[in-house]
Chains A and B, each alone.
Chain A
Amino acid sequence: GQNIDQPTEMTATEGAIVQINCTYQTSGFNGLFWYQQHAGEAPTFLSYNVLDGLEEKGRFSSFLSRSKGYSYLLLKELQMKDSASYLCAVMDSNYQLIWGAGTKLIIKP
């Protein structure tokens, strides 16, 4: 079956760095997406990785290792507004998105 694993919840301190991991087992791979979802709101697109390596976008970076079925989202200089759920999603061989359950990130002052 297809499976996306990410931690249920993480806590970090304002100004610090946090890494949210995602491992996947899917039928085929056509890229991995990270989305941010604030409570009661719809997800917003953060990043897309299809090749191995690190993609950097300001305070957010996303890494992919296809051979390990592994990705992480790195958030630097954490701000209180970064408190949200972070969803990992993999596009399988049928170009369907398989969603992880999300990681709830709690930022403390």
Chain B
Amino acid sequence: GAVVSQHPSWVICKSGTSVKIECRSLDFQATTMFWYRQFPKQSLMLMATSNEGSKATYEQGVEKDKFLINHASLTLSTLTVTSAHPEDSSFYICSARAGFAGDHQPQHFGDGTRLSIL
């Protein structure tokens, strides 16, 4: 149980392109989804937290207009990197959690999306 699917797993595109990444919880309802970015040999960096039906909460330093997050249902959240540039190249990982914050449920991760902007 607790499977999270993330697509695509790998994207290469030209600078200025917008890229959409999908994160789905396959066998549970995810009240909260998280988007992380990870650079090589570095720790996970939380970008934003999204709750179904409400606006995402972005971490300090993360541009809301650059990284658009939509959590339209209890099983789907999307991250759109708008007008991507080479410095946006990274490993993007989503995670999903069932229940509410006080339930102490673990986050379950998707397989990640490796984004390369040329």
The reply to whether chain A is a binding partner of chain B is yes
Does B111 lie within 8 Å of A95, measured CB to CB?
no
Q: Which of B49-85 contact A (CB under 8 A)?
A: 49
List the B side residues contacting A40 at CB < 8 Å. Answer: 91, 114
Q: B interface, by DSSP: helix, strand, loop or mixed? A: mixed
List the B side residues contacting A48 at CB < 8 Å. Answer: 104, 106
Q: For the side of the interface on B, what is the size category?
A: 20 to 34
List the B side residues contacting A102 at CB < 8 Å. Answer: 43
* Chain A 1-37: CB-based contact to B (< 8 A → 1; otherwise 0): 0000000000000000000000000000011010100
Q: Does A101 contact B (CB under 8 A)?
A: yes
List the B side residues contacting A96 at CB < 8 Å. Answer: 49
List the A side residues contacting B35 at CB < 8 Å. Answer: none
List the A side residues contacting B44 at CB < 8 Å. Answer: 43, 87, 99
